[in-house]
Amino acid sequence: MHPLVKLAKDTLKSLFTDEEPELPDGYEDEQGCFVTLTKDGELRGCIGYVTSDQPLKKGVKDATEAAAKNDPRFPPVREEELEDITVEVSVLSKPRRVQTNEPTKKLQAFNPGETGLIIQRGWKSGLLLPQVFDEDTPAEEAMRMTCQKAGLPPDAWKQPETGVYTFTATAYHE
């Protein structure tokens, strides 16, 4: 099991005990990460940080706790669910802003199955990890999905005042 996945699993268990999870050696770089919890193949929680000013291992621990307890889409994880929950840890590259206002070029910056998207306008922001898109996802559909996650109109990505960012992620599973 990858050390970051083990850390996430141990963090979940620690929510119901007095034991603190042991942080693995290394993983000191300040990187964004997301922790995704699934149960029976369905999303059960997903929280993370696009960028970070703390070591990756601390980010994974914090994101795991938040995904288990604070994802507003789900009730907090219960102890009896732990053995049915699967963990995925995604380590993000630094997001890169697509430096164009031309919609066609924004579409070309997205590579389905390899890049994730962040769409941002004002205080509204939506992020979808690369794993959300398969290799056949049309770029325009990915842009619409990310806009909707941000609470923006589906075509907001076309507007000059909307920032479009791409990033990659390395995902570690159980």
The number of residues making up the chain comes to 174
- Residue 118 has a pLDDT of 96
pLDDT (0 to 100) of residue 71: 95
Check whether 9 has a pLDDT greater than 90.
yes
Alpha-carbon separation of residue 159 from 15, 83, 164 (angstroms) = 43, 45, 10
Cβ atoms 81, 28 nearer than 8 A: no
Q: Which band of pLDDT confidence, cut at 50, 70 and 90, is reported for residue 113?
A: confident
Between the alpha carbon of residue 152 and those of residues 7, 94, 146, the distances in Å are 35, 23, 9
How sure is the predictor about 58, in pLDDT bands with cuts at 50, 70 and 90?
A: very high
Average pLDDT over residues 4-8: 97
Kindly state the average pLDDT of the residues 24-35: 94
For 72, residues 6+ apart whose C-beta sits below 8 A from its C-beta are none
Q: Can you give the pLDDT at residue 6?
A: 97
Domains of the chain: 3-92 (3.30.700.20), 96-168 (3.30.1490.150)
Assign 174 a pLDDT band (cuts: 50, 70, 90): confident
Quote the CA–CA distance of 96 and 116 in Å, as a whole number: 11
Q: Please compute the mean of the pLDDT values over residues 14-42 and round it to a whole number.
A: 94
